[in-house]
A and B are shown apart, each in its own frame.
Chain A
Amino acid sequence: MQNKKIYSRLFVVPAFVLYTILFILPVLGGLYYSFTNWSAMKPTITFIGLDNYKEIFFSSGSYLKSIYHTLSFTLYTVVFKLGIGLVLALLLNEGLKTKKVLRTVFFLPYMLSPLIIGIIFISILGPDGPLNMVLRFIGLDHLTHSWLTEKNVVLGSTMGVEIWRMVGWNMVIILAGLQTISKSYYEAASLDGAGRWKQFTQITIPFLMPTLMIAMILNMIHGLRVFEIIYALTNGGPGDLTEVINTQVYKEFSMGRYGMSNALSMVAFIFTLMIAYLIKLVSSREEAAS
């Protein structure tokens, strides 16, 4: 059609205005205020340059630890979410009779508020809670822990809960990717005498790669944003053992140190931007390939 004039940009205005005022403006504002000492305790806001960032990266406080925890939380959860999600997707893709019910069950945790999941797992992970009872019941007494208070396991426990929540989501995404692979490839490979393992490494994995990449990137974004699970389970404790960037952002906010809170948000934002750049790289490579 020649005349595109009818598609007036007026139709974009409501969404554009809402998004600009309530999303972009706060993000840009956050950048600005991260260079200030904006605080509930001070009458004026002064520009202090990089001081907040210096404090984050060079002070002996918990800030650097929270960044480290966030990154390792992201790394470990991404690996396990994808790995377990892949195994489940492969199992369900085998033509199980109860595939639909199983898919419904595994995806269910993703439908629940992370905060509720956190509260539920406080009861499950207690010293006398159901998890330890199950471990004792099957004779694995030495594996029992006080999951939410012991120094060496507590961060791992929060990761476990997050993995539990997101495995089904990964399974669904990967399952959809698996279903885009044409059956004819497998039939041809069988005729050529390729075994199941060879079919898996030579057909399934290469064709699944784009899906796995996207799922990985989305998982990384979820990981960097972690807040509710940890806020509910441990609130960053004991001590600062499970402190992550977003729990610190909230703590600074509640103490009225808004400038610092914004600077920490920016650090998380910068990591996310790096991932966004990764998306761009991946998608442009795919376009070049197709």
Chain B
Amino acid sequence: MRQKPLLLIMKEAMTWLLALSILGPLSLIVVNSLKTATEANTVTMNLPLKLQWVNYMEAFEGGSLLHSFFNSLLMSSVSAAISILVTSMAAFVLVRNRDRWNKMIYNYFFLGLVAPLNYVTTIKVLQALHLQNTFPGIILVFATLGIPFAVFLFYGFISSVPTELDEAAIIDGCGLGRLFFNVVFPLLMPVTITGFILNFLGAWNDFVTPLYLLNKQDKLGMINAIYNYFGVHFNEWNMIFTIIVLTVLPVLFLYLIGQKYIISGMVSGSLKG
């Protein structure tokens, strides 16, 4: 379909106009994070009189922000790693041996894609395991929340990995452990990256799970810390936005370097649905 260049330019301009509705609100955060408290009292698009970089210094004062940052980093990365490890192993066996039981197990995992987690009873389970309000507890819950989609993701990818490699490795005397970790797992890199990023971001951005399960101020991650800060400093938009920018930066960084993987994960989730 060839089109007139003028028409194409008009379409491009129109799409950028629509994109302003996304970029506008986002630039608003950055602009207002650089104002004084009085300037930012009502949030406007006016540029700051003088750039208040000092807000960013102030945000780190007292160390509680850095503390929440490392909490987030710990919970997100460890839970993503656990999730990837257990699901890639499970998906490998489920793909390679599609007997009746394994098909049922796959469907059992699939249920988790539609059903929402019941937080109230999860608290009771964590209490019984003596993991309530602990990092291991919340990390395991985050990892579990990632399992259904990751199983689905790995299952689709491993289906396309040829079995000849398996056969050669088995003839060479590999057991299941060496076959998977030394031969197959390195081939899964693209989907491992996708799965890791999606699980990491899922945990990083999750507000609800810690809201129910983590009743300890010193263990909260960035998102829940922002909400608590917002509750106390309701009108200090400059500082609220400063903290938001600092929370979003790592996400933005991951998004920009891993965009290819993130989008391929999203798309495979919907096309093979």
Contacts and interface: CB of A to CB of B under 8 A. Distances in A.
Interface of A: 1, 4, 6-12, 14-16, 18-19, 21-27, 29-30, 33, 88, 91-92, 94-98, 102-109, 111-116, 119-121, 123-124, 126, 128-130, 133, 164, 168-169, 172-173, 176-177, 180, 186, 190, 211, 214-215, 217-218, 221, 225, 227-228, 232, 249-250, 253, 258, 261-262, 265, 268-269, 272-273, 275-276, 279, 283
B114 A276 contact: yes
Binding site secondary structure of chain A: helix
B21 interface: yes
Interface string B89-102: 11011101101011
Interface of B: 1, 3, 8, 11-12, 14-16, 18-19, 21-26, 28-29, 32, 42-45, 85-87, 89-90, 92-94, 96-97, 99, 101-102, 105, 108-109, 111-112, 114-122, 124-125, 129, 140-141, 143-145, 147-148, 151, 163, 166-167, 170, 175-176, 179-180, 201, 204-208, 211-212, 223, 226-227, 230, 237, 240, 244, 247-248, 251-252, 255-256, 259, 262-263, 266-267, 270-271, 273
Nearest to B129: A21
Contact of B97 (A7, A15, A173, A221): A7
Interface centre among A4, A19, A217, A273 (most CB of B within 10 A): A19
Contacts of A261: 120
B166 A1 contact: yes
B89 A115 contact: no
Contacts of A18: 86, 140, 143-144, 147
Interface centre among A18, A92, A177 (most CB of B within 10 A): A18
A92 B8 CA distance: 11
A211 B141 CA distance: 31
A6 B173 CA distance: 11
B212 A91 contact: no
Contact of B8 (A29, A95, A250, A275): A95
A151 to B, nearest CB: 23
A96 B5 CA distance: 10
A120 B108 CA distance: 38
Contacts of A123: 28, 32, 43, 237
B120 A12 contact: no
A26 B109 contact: no
Given A23-B147, A177-B271, A272 B15 contact: no
> What 3 A-B pairs have minimum CB-CB distances, sorted nearest first?
A30-B118, A113-B205, A29-B121
A180 B237 CA distance: 45
Contacts of B111: 24, 276
B263 A172 contact: yes
Nearest to B141: A22
Contacts of B22: 105-106, 108-109, 164, 168
A271 to B, nearest CB: 10
A16 to B, nearest CB: 7
B90 A11 contact: yes
A273 B112 CA distance: 11
Given A21-B125, A221-B114, A225-B116, 19 more contacts: A12-B89, A12-B105, A15-B90, A16-B105, A19-B109, A27-B121, A30-B121, A94-B11, A107-B263, A111-B262, A114-B205, A116-B223, A119-B240, A124-B43, A130-B44, A173-B271, A176-B271, A253-B119, A283-B273
